[in-house]
Every structure is written in C-alpha cells, then in structure tokens.
Structure 1
Amino acid sequence: MIRGRKMPPEESDLPPEKDRQAVVVWLDAALAAADRAAPPDPGRVTIRRLNRAEYANTIRDLLGVEFNAAADFPADDVGYGFDNIGDVLTLSPMLMEKYVAAAEQIAAKAIVADAEGRKREQLPESHRRIIAVQPSADRSPDQAAAQILRRLATRAYRRPATDTEVERLVRLTGHVRAAGGSFESGIRTALEAILVSPHFLFRVELDPPGAGVIRELNEYELASRLSYFLWSSMPDDELFDLAGRGRLRAELDRQVRRMLADAKARALIENFAGQWLQLRNLEAIHPDKQQFPQFDDELRRAMRIEAEMFFEAIVRENRSVLELIDADYTFVNARLARFYGIEGVEGDHFRRVALDGDESVRARGGVLGLAATLAVTSNPTRTSPGAHHALCDFRRRRIGSNGSR
C-alpha cells in the first residue's frame, strides 16, 4: 500500500518521499528477517464464559432440560460483531445471582427430590438419566453418589473430574441427608453446585505443570473448541470417548463431517453466520415505505432464510469458500424470486435456483449479493450500492467479457 502510494491517503498530510522510502525499506527488512520455520505464537486465550445460547444448549445436552436463557439472563456483550468473545464476556454480580437462581430452577426440573415410591418409568427422563444407580445393600449412599457425580461433573466440566472435586460434591450430599433430605435431594443440591462452578460456566484451558509458553491443546480442550464452534454446546459422548482414548486428533476430519451432519450444527448457522452476516439485525431494520414499498415482513423472512440456506449449503456440502463471494446459485421462494426478477418459481417453499439471468440476477450470487446482506448495510431511505459495484467489477475481472472463467 505504501509502495503503491495508496497509503497514507492523498487527503492526509503526506510524508516526504525519503521518509516513505525509508518505511518501505524497513518493512522489507523486517519481513525478510522473520523466521518462517519458527512455530507461530498462538498468544494467550482468555477463558470464555458460556454465552446465553451456549448455556441453554449445554443444559439441554447435559441434563435433557430446556432452559430459556434469553429470557432469564441479560444480553451478552458483543465484541468484533460476535457475542462469544472471551474478552467481553464478563461476569457481573447480577449475572452471578441469575446463575444461582437458574441452577436451582434447572436442578428442580431435572431431579425429583421425593422419588421414593414412584415407578422409574413415572420419573422424568432427565431424572432417570442422572440417577443411574441407587444406594443398596452392597453400595452405600456415598458410593452411589460418587458414581453419579463423577460422571455428571466430568460431562459438565468437559474434562475428567478430579477425586477432590468428586469428594467435595459427595460430602455436600451427605450434609443434605444428615439434615433429613433424601438421596435424590442430595444429588440435586450437588447438581446446583456443579452448575455454578467456574468449570461449568467457563471454558477453562489451564496449563498443566511444566507447560511451556506454547503447548498443544489436550484432547478434551480440542473437543470443547470443536463442539462449541460447530454446535454451540458441549461435546457429546462420542467426542468424550475419543478424547478419553486420545484418539480425537487422529479422527478430527471424520468427526467434523459427522458433527456438520448433525442437527445441532444448525447452531453454526444461527450463531456464527447470523452474526457474521448480521442476519440478527434484519428484524431491526425499517426501510422507508415510500422509497421501498415492496418491503414487508414476508420479504424480510425470505431474505433471512435465503442467507441461512446459502451458508448452510456451503458448509454441509463442503463447497469452495470462493462461492461465498461468487456463486452461480441461491435459494428462493416465490416471494423472493419475484423481488429478484427470477421467473418460474412458485410456492412458499425454498429451492436452489441457478443465477443465469441478466447481470442484476447474476449479481445475487455470494454473500455480497444477498438481499439480507444488502438490507442490513443500507440506510432506511437509500441503498448502499458500493458493494454491488465492487462485486460486479470483481466478477467482470474474474469472468471476463466473454463469460468464460
């Protein structure tokens, strides 16, 4: 940019030519001196608090309980356009109070405290999943509690629970029973403690003793990074099993394909694409009715679905990343097709269509041409045609005047 005289901008105070050349020479020398053989420094990762979506999904997958975090917790702070950035996901006293109240509410839904006398099939599925064993003649209440809580804490913390952690939880159940509570009440109280633990609320990656400045993620950390990126939730049993056997890294490609084929990968569309493409902002835009009389809630909904289906197709079908910019297809229903000027589309269901019409239709290929993207980056009374012109210029340069690639 400096060598090509594009920086600094012409309207700014320009440095003398000798200073410009001195900067160019210095940058060339610094870049040439970089040791490309040295491993890149990944930096330090701030421990990430679970955001609202991740919390709700994790509760669902851990306990089988539905919890509306969006209604009970305050909105997460946003950094760089995303609400899962560790540096901005703080923990205020008010949010901690919300977590304590949520833990009590969730534990009460998950475990029936007075289960004695009930048939097992009459108990909630979450209760049967958690209380997998009961005290018996050859199993003391503490032994049964330890068996239940070791598995529960391991899943909740996304790594093997330590003996000390399990013993502390078992002692808690003993205090409840000593005060006259049932075995199930003790497990429920221990579950509340698990749900307010930093090891549950945060995705913790602690350096082991003797770790160097740069270290490889262990298998459990890798499983959590993978699952929270693709599913916005905790690792499932298969990921846990592979991590425990030290096999996840070796089977990473297969696991990514499996996870993308899972229905939970919908979270990648809603959370990552929804924020990257600003689809969440679609509900907040209100184009001027006189300037854009064709815009209504039906079109707004169609715009969002098209963008989600387009991104999902590229991810699930393992298509080229270049199609994010230059695709020859999109997804429309009759309402959106009419808005685009695409003929031959009837009905409310969305289908893939080829963009083989005139230039205005072909320009709809890729995220820069999606109606949703253009809508959220425009003003209420006028569009912002810069991206459209840049995209058309890009396509002309790449495709050529005769249309050949």
Structure 2
Amino acid sequence: MRCAISPCVLIGCLLAMICLPAAWLTGAEFDPDRFLKQYCAACHQGEKPQGHFSIAPLIGDREFTPNSTQWLDLLDQLGDRAMPPADTDKPRPSMEEYSQAVAWLKEQLAAASGSAGRMTRRLNRPQYNNTIRDLLHISHRPADSFPQDLGLEGFNNVVEVQTLSPFLLQKYLTAAEESLALAITTQPEPEQIDIRYYPLPPEVHSGAKPLKPSPIPLKDLLGKQWPAYVSRSIQLLGGNYPVNQAGMREGQGPHGYEMVISQDGKSGQRGQLMFNTPLIGGRYRLTVQAYATPRLEKDGRPIPPQGVSILGVSVNGEDVQRIAIPLADKPQPFVCEFTSDHSRTQVYLNGATEVNKLELKPVPNLVITEARLEGPLYDAWPPASHRAIFGAGGTDATPEILRRFASRAFRRPATDAEVAKYTALCEAEIRQGASPLEAIRVGLKAILVSPHFLFLIEPVDSSGRLSDYALASRLSYFLWSSMPDDELFQLAADDRLHLPAELEKQVARMLQDPKAEAFVNEFGGQWIGFHRLAEAAPDPDIFPTWDEDLRRAMLAESQQFFRHVMLENRRLTEFLLADYTFANERLARHYGIEGVQGGALQQVALPADSKRRGGLITQAGVLTVASQPTRSSPVFRGIFVLEKLFNRPPPNPPADVPALEEAAATGEAQTVREQLARHRADASCAACHNRIDPWGLPLEEFDGIGRWRKMTAEDLTASLQDGEQITGAHDLQDALLSQKDAFVAGLAEKMLLYALGRTLSWSDQQAEPEIVRQVAAADYRFQSLVQAIILSPPFQNR
C-alpha cells in the first residue's frame, strides 16, 4: 500500500547518498540502512517526521518485489533528477554518482521482477462487440448492456482489474443467443423495401381528409386529389410554432410515418421527419435529398446566414450520423446506412442549426425534398452472417460446421477433442427431439460462452515465445480491438507471422484498415482522454459560448488529429507541436481563425508566426477537460503533461491539503498563482507541485474552454526543475520538443501497457530504451513506434 504522502519526500535522502564515493553505490557494497540512517533520519524519524513520511519501515528492508512501488517511484525521481531541487542547499550528485545509484536500483528491481506471470485477460466491451461483428458478420452490440469495464492506469483492458460476476456470465448467455438469432436465418429471401417520402406544400393538404397511403408515383398525382398524407400536426421540438407540413409515400414495402420538415429560423429550433416502418433485421440505406437556403428579408432580399444547418439521423432513439448541409440552389444527396435489429424501426431526421447561441441572427433554412429508404441490403442470400456459420451447405455436416466455427471463435484450430465434445452436445439435443438446426444452435452457443472465446488464452513454446496464432490475436486486439482476419490466420497457419519483415508489413496494412478506427477511439481516446469531453460541464454563466456543437467539434478535432498522425505516418513530435489542426467553422471561430466555413471538419493551417496553437496541449478539448467548471486549472494541465505525455504521473495529494478553492475561501490567497506558491512553500506539497506547476502555469493564457486570452508575462512564467524559465505556450512547446525522447518513452510505455492488457513489470520496461532508439532512427514516425513495440520481447513473449 502506498504511503499517504508521495515517496518523493525521500528522494532528497537517496540523492544525498549519491554524494558518497562511487564504491558505495555498486554491487554488494551498497548499504541502504547506512544511507537512510545517515542522510534521512534527522528529518524522517520520530513521532512527527517531515512530510508525514518515516524511514522506520525501510530500515532493514531487503525485499525488492515485482510490486516495489515505492522503489519504482523513487527511481522515476532519480531518472528525472528532480531531487534535491535546483534551489536547495543540499548537495547534488555528480552525473557519475547519479548514474551509479540508478544502475544499482535497476539491477535490484530487474532481478526481483522476473516474469509477469500467466495472467489471462478477457475481452472487454469494445473487443466483445467487435469480435461478434467480425465472427458473425452482423452489426450488433450486445456488450453495450454488459457492466462497465474498470480502468487502471488510464485504460479499460487491463487484466488486474477485470472481474467475472454472475451477472456478466448471464449476459454472456443472452448475448450468444441474441447474436446467433440475428446471424442465422430460416426465412426465404425477403422482399426489398424501397420507399420514397415527399413533403407536400400546405396549400395542397390544408383541410383535406386523410386517405390511406398509396404507391401511386408522384408524377401521376399531378392534377389529382392527393392520395396520401399525414393527418397529424406536430410542433417543432423546443418551439411553439405549429406546423401543418405533411408528406406522401411512393414505392413498395410496409409503411407508417409522420413528417415534419420545417425550421423557424431561430437558433435552437428543430424540425423532425420520422419513419415508423416495420422492417426485418438487416442493413438499410437512407438517402436524403436536401439543401440549405438563406432566409429572406420582407422585400425578398437574402439575409447573410449565420451558422450551419445540420441534418441529424437517429434510429430507434440512437444518433447514428450528423450531416452538415451546405448552402445550395438545388438538392444534393446525403447517404446514411444503419442496421435495424427491431421488428418495427423508427428513423428520425432532425433539423438543427450549428450557431453561437449568443448570436441570434437568422440561420439557414433546411430544405428536404425527398427521403428514400432501401433495404435490407445484402450481396447474396442467405446473408453473409448465415454463410459464415454454415458455408454453402446446410445443417447436415455438424462436425465440420462446429470445427470451422470454433476455430474462428477460439482464434486457433479447434482440437479433435473440442469438436467431439460440441458434436456430442448437439447429438444429445437431437435425441431429445430438437431439429438439426436447433441442435447446432446449442453447440454454437456453447462455443460462444467458452473461456476460449471469452478470454485471450495465449499458448507459448518452451522458450516462452507466443505461438503464431497467439501472436495474431495479440496483434489484432492491439490495433483492431477484434479477432484476426483471414490473412493473419493464414500467416499463423504457415508459421510465418512471427518473422520481423512480415510483422512490419502487417502493421502497415492493419493501420490502414477501417478496423483501425478502434485504435483511434480505444487507445487514442483513453490516452489523450478526449472521451472525457462528454463529462465536461463548464459553467454557462462564466462560459456562455459553450454548447453541444462546440463540444462535438472539440471531440472531432482530437479524434481526427490522432487519426491523421496514424494514417499518414506523421512524426510523433506533432503531438507536441504541429503547424496545423482540424476544425469546422464553429471551432475555428472559437480559435479566432478566419476563412473556415461549414460544419464539416477540415485541415486548417495555423499561422506560421504563432505557436499559441498546435499539438495536443493547446487543443480546446484537452484544455477544457484539464479545467475546473468555473476556471482554468494549471494543476490539471500540469498533471496532463506529466501523466499523458511523459507517463510520470504525480501521486495523489495528502488528505489534509485543502483544494485551491478552499484556500481561496479562507482569504489565504487571492490568485491561483499565489495559491500554488503557498502549496509549494509547504514541504508536504513542494515535491509534487515543483514538478506539476511549471508545466501548467504557461497554459494559463487559455481559459477554461481553451480560448486564448491576453495575460502578463509574469502570470505565464515558470521555472522547470532544471532551472530553465519558460513563459507561455510558445516556450512550453519548445521545452516539450527538447525532451522528445522522454515523450516517446512515456508514450511507448502507455502503448505497450495497452497492447499487453496488463501493467508493465520492471522487466517489461527494460525494452523501453531499444524502442526509443528504433523510433529515433526512423525519424520518430508513428508506425515506427507501433512496429518497435510489436517486435519487442514483452510483446513477443508470454
């Protein structure tokens, strides 16, 4: 268990040790007790040791274990040469003495670390959903109803915190049944639905009586009584404007619909178009013909529009797409595909406007001239999901069906004993009166609840190296959060996947595959933390320009920035400083960047003469997450740099240290800078705040939602631990770039932990210098880091 205060308070003692002759710091001559008593006892013994830390438990301690967290934390401080501080009167070690002390600690920790042990992780929620998708060829997300995955060190796939409750076991059974019901079809080829919905002008249907819908083509209705329209009048969502807009339907298939397509032109008003249509399970395509037009003055002159019209598509209450509709003089097609798992599906089109709510200017009209619904879409019948299980044959060849399915589900060839066990289970069902198909369902379900499906079981050879099949799974769950594809399976079968040249080829291929979007969202999202934007709640009284459109734009910027660096194999240093970002009109306006129009995200060049923006640390989403609801937070922002960029997070503060707001309430300090200075004056806080504050204070030129603001140089100046003074984001970015190898090392540790799905042992961390060396030799390119991790001993071995 960690002590209540940071082990940092002991660093002064340990570094003081380094001032002794070098012989004291090598091999068996190193005597921890002597050093502790001679250099630490004066301050850290007795009833009231300084910093609430006593050396008494360490005297006589010779137990270096794989979980020697205090020693690991101390080694981090030694590696940073953080203690004693540059301004202390204590002697500081020479480089030779420092290196010898570090080498001794590394030797002890490496000897105690050994193997990480045989920890078997299970699929987390995203991995389960993606595996069901790729195994059964269905768009179904059963794991969304599973208990939330717990997180450790920032990631939710870490085995040390995974649990297996009775509730989750029941969910596995239900998920297997639901997934197989969607994948297997016993129905003949379904009738195709192809329905078009049109709005009708008010003068046509005003006062008319409702008639039953009819498939008569629109062109045949001219000059006749309209045969189809909606009888109900629906108000705009959030408004008080009655709309008598109706619509008609033509085409084939079942129907049921309500239609409202209108906007009153004021910010926040929405229109709605809803299809309430009986559909069979499958994939559907919705094509909307739409455009936006400026509103008109009373004399007919167009009013310059403010904001962007947004067409939102939701299916059964879940948002599936938001489409920016540009100004135009005629309709354009916009396509959205979705999957229906319900017998009766509700499809909504919502009209909204992306606009600053303080600028109550006229917004563009959203005009929808046609909505077309087609489906279910499939290349052949039976669909791919059915064929993935049964192949081209029927249900007669039970052993072959089960062997093929189990081999893909278990991600390695099923054994004869396994196939015999599942075949016997099916035969027992048939003896009890089940049909062949019903019996096979039972066998398939048993496979989907097997530990070999639910867990990532990794066979090794006598040397501890992963088998090629286990390597294929480790690789695919690292980059895709899903099972291997046919190419990886074939390479594993040929015993070629472990070859370095083949692995490098596969990394390049897999990162370009659409399934690598999981790496953007799962690794990128948890590393950068942009998923936390959903929880951000800036005070609307203090930040009145904050709204959902800005939140979405911030999220999209961080996602696209990571995606771009990955797909284009850019330099990792662009995470620290880049001369571009991604923004739409709303976010560009927030940044004060001119010339960006529309709701679509686009790459934006940042001014060459300014480094106020560029890289992760100046993105509005990162700055917003690293803020309090009412103000910016140099502490949160400093912690972001230490934790996310260098993987050197500070420990939690002592329980008896008040938050900055509490200190301010007592009148003890007036400004955040003054409060932080008071924290640093306290010995209990100084060790950590001397590390945190210098990275956060220069970012005070950005407010609580990431807007730039003018501040004095004094407010933005801080001294790094090596004594270098930096002022503002410009200097901070230069300081980060000067430590790019430390950044790559921290990122490598984060990525390796995510790839292995477990915390790193000390022996794992010994691979870090070689990874950094390979990345530096490859010009710090993104793919070089992924390749170096995959070729490293921790990734290749159990």
Length-normalised TM-score, structure 2: 0.44
C-alpha spacing 1:399/1:51, structure 2 compared with 1 (3 Å): closer
C-alpha spacing 1:308/1:398, structure 2 compared with 1 (3 Å): closer
1:198 aligns with 2:447: no
1:93 aligns with 2:172: no
Residue 327 of structure 1 deviates from its aligned partner by: 1.1
Partner amino acid, structure 1, of 2:389: I
Q: Secondary structure at the match of 2:160?
A: coil
Instruction: Give the total of aligned pairs.
Output: 380
1:248 aligns with 2:248: no
Residue 97 of structure 1 deviates from its aligned partner by: 1.1
Cross-structure match for 1:43? 116
CA contact (8 A) 2:576 2:737 kept: no
Question: Aligned partners of 2:158, 2:734: CA distance in 1, in Å?
Answer: 38
Cα deviation digits, residues 194-252 of structure 1 (max 9, x gap): 111111001111345xx24xx22221111111111111110011110111111223311
Residue 87 of structure 1 deviates from its aligned partner by: 1.2
C-alpha spacing 1:134/1:396, structure 2 compared with 1 (3 Å): closer
Q: Which one of 282, 301, 309 corresponds to residue 560 of structure 2?
A: 309
1:83 aligns with 2:336: no
C-alpha spacing 1:285/1:110, structure 2 compared with 1 (3 Å): same
C-alpha spacing 1:42/1:340, structure 2 compared with 1 (3 Å): farther
C-alpha spacing 1:266/1:32, structure 2 compared with 1 (3 Å): closer
CA contact (8 A) 1:342 1:357 kept: no
CA contact (8 A) 2:578 2:614 kept: yes
Cross-structure match for 2:82? 6
CA contact (8 A) 1:53 1:69 kept: no
Residue 394 of structure 1 deviates from its aligned partner by: 3.4
Cross-structure match for 1:186? 439
Question: Aligned partners of 1:84, 1:398: CA distance in 2, in Å?
Answer: 29
C-alpha spacing 1:254/1:24, structure 2 compared with 1 (3 Å): closer
Question: Aligned partners of 1:17, 1:65: CA distance in 2, in Å?
Answer: 66
Residue 62 of structure 1 deviates from its aligned partner by: 0.2
1:395 aligns with 2:654: no
Q: Which one of 619, 631, 643 corresponds to residue 370 of structure 1?
A: 619
- Cα RMSD for the two superposed structures: 3.3
Higher strand share: 2
Cross-structure match for 1:403? none
Q: Which one of 395, 409, 430 corresponds to residue 177 of structure 1?
A: 430
Once the two structures are superposed, the pairs formed by residues 3-402 of structure 1 within 5 Å of their partners are 6-7=82-83, 24=98, 27-28=101-102, 30=104, 43-44=116-117, 46-112=119-185, 123-132=382-391, 134=393, 141=396, 144-208=397-461, 211-212=462-463, 215-250=464-499, 251-356=502-607, 359=610, 362-385=611-634, 386=696, 388=699, 391-396=729-734
Question: Aligned partners of 2:475, 2:443: CA distance in 1, in Å?
Answer: 28
Q: Which runs of 5+ in 1 are unaligned?
A: 401-405
C-alpha spacing 1:25/1:266, structure 2 compared with 1 (3 Å): closer
Question: Aligned partners of 2:115, 2:138: CA distance in 1, in Å?
Answer: 36
Partner amino acid, structure 1, of 2:467: N
Residue 64 of structure 1 deviates from its aligned partner by: 1.4
Cα deviation digits, residues 168-214 of structure 1 (max 9, x gap): 11111111222222222222111100111111001111345xx24xx
Question: Aligned partners of 2:412, 2:89: CA distance in 1, in Å?
Answer: 56
C-alpha spacing 1:329/1:264, structure 2 compared with 1 (3 Å): same
Cα deviation digits, residues 5-45 of structure 1 (max 9, x gap): 7325699xx998699999958615526979x9x9x966335
Mean Cα displacement is larger for which, 176-185 or 343-352? 176-185
C-alpha spacing 1:133/1:393, structure 2 compared with 1 (3 Å): same
Cα deviation digits, residues 143-163 of structure 1 (max 9, x gap): x11111111111111111111
C-alpha spacing 1:109/1:5, structure 2 compared with 1 (3 Å): closer
Question: Aligned partners of 1:367, 1:335: CA distance in 2, in Å?
Answer: 19
CA contact (8 A) 2:125 2:144 kept: no
Q: Secondary structure at the match of 1:78?
A: coil
Question: Aligned partners of 1:279, 1:25: CA distance in 2, in Å?
Answer: 38
C-alpha spacing 1:145/1:266, structure 2 compared with 1 (3 Å): same
Partner amino acid, structure 2, of 1:295: W
C-alpha spacing 1:202/1:32, structure 2 compared with 1 (3 Å): closer
CA contact (8 A) 1:130 1:152 kept: yes
Higher helix share: 1
Mean Cα displacement is larger for which, 350-359 or 177-186? 350-359
Mean Cα displacement is larger for which, 246-255 or 22-31? 22-31
Question: Aligned partners of 2:478, 2:145: CA distance in 1, in Å?
Answer: 23
CA contact (8 A) 2:479 2:511 kept: yes
Q: Secondary structure at the match of 1:95?
A: helix
Cα deviation digits, residues 38-75 of structure 1 (max 9, x gap): 9x966335211101111011001001123323542111
C-alpha spacing 1:5/1:333, structure 2 compared with 1 (3 Å): closer
C-alpha spacing 1:344/1:134, structure 2 compared with 1 (3 Å): closer
Question: Aligned partners of 1:65, 1:272: CA distance in 2, in Å?
Answer: 24
Partner amino acid, structure 2, of 1:132: G
Cross-structure match for 2:205? none
Question: Aligned partners of 2:114, 2:605: CA distance in 1, in Å?
Answer: 44
Residue 107 of structure 1 deviates from its aligned partner by: 1.9
Question: Aligned partners of 1:128, 1:134: CA distance in 2, in Å?
Answer: 8
Length-normalised TM-score, structure 1: 0.84
Cα deviation digits, residues 97-153 of structure 1 (max 9, x gap): 1111211222222224x67xx5796544312221125479xxxx4xx1111111111
Question: Aligned partners of 1:63, 1:123: CA distance in 2, in Å?
Answer: 13
CA contact (8 A) 2:459 2:466 kept: no
Q: Which runs of 5+ in 2 are unaligned?
A: 1-10, 19-79, 191-379, 635-695, 700-715, 717-725, 739-798
C-alpha spacing 1:73/1:397, structure 2 compared with 1 (3 Å): closer
